[in-house]
Structure 1
Amino acid sequence: MKKHLLLATIQAIALVASLTSSPASVPTLPQTPTQMLRQESGWSWPTAGEPRILVPFDKPEQRWSSGHRGIDLSADQGDQIYAPNKGRVTFRSTVVDRPVIVIDHGSGFKTSLEPAESDLSVGTWVEAGSKIGTVSTGAHCSNRCLHWGVRLDGEYIDPALLIKDLRPSILLPLA
C-alpha cells in the first residue's frame, strides 16, 4: 500500500510540475517512479543483469491447486546467484531432488531460490546483491533456469512485480 501511495504521489508531483512550468523549464525526474520504488525497496534480480523470464508466475486458484508459484529465470548451471534483497537465511537444504535456499527479508517477504547450491548457514545475514550461491541442477529447472519464488505473509506473489512495473499504461487526460 505504501508503494502504491508513493508511486501516486510521485506521479502527481510530476504532473503538477509539468502543468505549472513552461515547456522549456519542465523539471525532469532523475529516475522513473518504478526505478525509485525499486531503489527504495532494495529488490533486484537474483541473477546477473536482467534475465529472460522463461516461465511466468501463474497463481493457482486455490492454495492446493496446480500453478507456477514463482518465475523461472534463464540461467545455466554454475551461474552466480545474488540476494534479491537483504535478509536472513532461514533454510538451506535439499528438497526432494534439488538444493533450495530461503531468505526472510522481513515485513512478511520470503524468497526461495532453487536449484541453488550455497555454503551459507541458516541464520546468516545477507545484503541485497551479495553472492549467496550458484545455480545447480534439479526439478524442472535442471540445466536451464533458476526458480525464484516470493511469499508475502505466506501467500505466493509474482516476484517480477518487485522489480518491474507490469501494470498496463493508462493515459490520463490533460484537462
Structure 2
Amino acid sequence: MVVLLFSPGAAVTRTPESSDLDFDWPTGGPVAVLRAFDLPAQRWQSGHRGVDLEAGAGSPVRGAGAGRVAFAGKVGGKPVVALEHAGGLRTTYEPVQALVSVGDVIARGDLIGELLPGHCEGASCLHWGAKYGTGRNEQYIDPLLLLQPLRYRLVPDRD
C-alpha cells in the first residue's frame, strides 16, 4: 500500500498512476482563498467541505487534474461539475456552467466550464471540493493539499 502524505498527520491512500496525480489551480493560476476548508468533527455537522477561490463571473474553470467527467448538472439548484481522478479521488466545481459532458476525458488544465455568479456573498468565487469515497464512506480533503508536491512513504501491511 502507498500512503501519500499531504501534510503532517494527514494521510490518504491512493495508487499513483504516472502524471495522473499532478494537480493545478482550477482558476488557471494562484488566486486568493476567500474561505478555507473547514471539516466538521462529525459528518452531519455544518462545515465547509472545500475552498472558495476568488474568481470573477464568466472566468474559465479548468480541470485541476486529469480525469473523467462524472457529473455535469444541478445539485440543489446549483450547477456543478464533478471529475473522477486516479485512485478514487473526485473533485467538484460550483457554480459552473459546464462545457463538458458526462464521460468526457480531460487533461489537467482543460477547460471544463465558465464560472457563474452566486456562490460567495458580495463576491464571485469558485467553490472547489475534493473527496474520496461515496455515501457514508466519503472522506473530504482540503483540495489545496492537491497542489502541494506529493511525498510517498511505504507502510507495512497491518494484517
TM-score tier, shorter chain, comes to 0.7 to 0.9
Gaps of 5+ in 2: 6-18, 150-159
State percent identity of aligned pairs: 38
* Larger RCO, structure (CA 8 Å, separation 6 or more): 2
User: Could you report, residue by residue, the CA deviation over 1:107-158 in whole angstroms, capped at 9, with x for unpaired residues?
Assistant: 0200010001112111111111111111012344685100000002321100
- TM-score normalised by the chain length of structure 1: 0.69
Displaced runs of 4 or more, over 4 A: none
When Rg is computed on C-alpha atoms for both structures, the one with the higher figure is 1
Matched, 1:50 2:30: yes
From the superposition, tell whether residues 93 and 143 of structure 1 become closer, same or farther in structure 2 (CA, over 3 Å): farther
Q: 2:45 & 2:110 partners in 1: Cα distance? A: 34
2:58 maps to amino acid: G
- Alignment partner of 2:43 out of 63, 80, 84: 63
2:47 maps to amino acid: G
- TM-score normalised by the chain length of structure 2: 0.75
Matched, 1:130 2:130: no
Kept in 2: contact 1:115–1:142 (CA 8 A) = no
More strand by share: 2
Q: 2:139 & 2:53 partners in 1: Cα distance? A: 20
Kept in 1: contact 2:50–2:127 (CA 8 A) = yes
- Alignment partner of 1:41 out of 21, 43, 61: 21
Kept in 1: contact 2:50–2:129 (CA 8 A) = yes
Question: RMSD value over aligned CA atoms?
Answer: 1.9
Query: How many equivalent residue pairs?
Result: 131
Q: Offset of 1:2 from its aligned partner?
A: 4.2
From the superposition, tell whether residues 93 and 141 of structure 1 become closer, same or farther in structure 2 (CA, over 3 Å): farther
More helix by share: 1
Kept in 2: contact 1:97–1:138 (CA 8 A) = no
Matched, 1:85 2:65: yes
Kept in 1: contact 2:39–2:47 (CA 8 A) = yes
Q: 2:3 & 2:86 partners in 1: Cα distance? A: 16
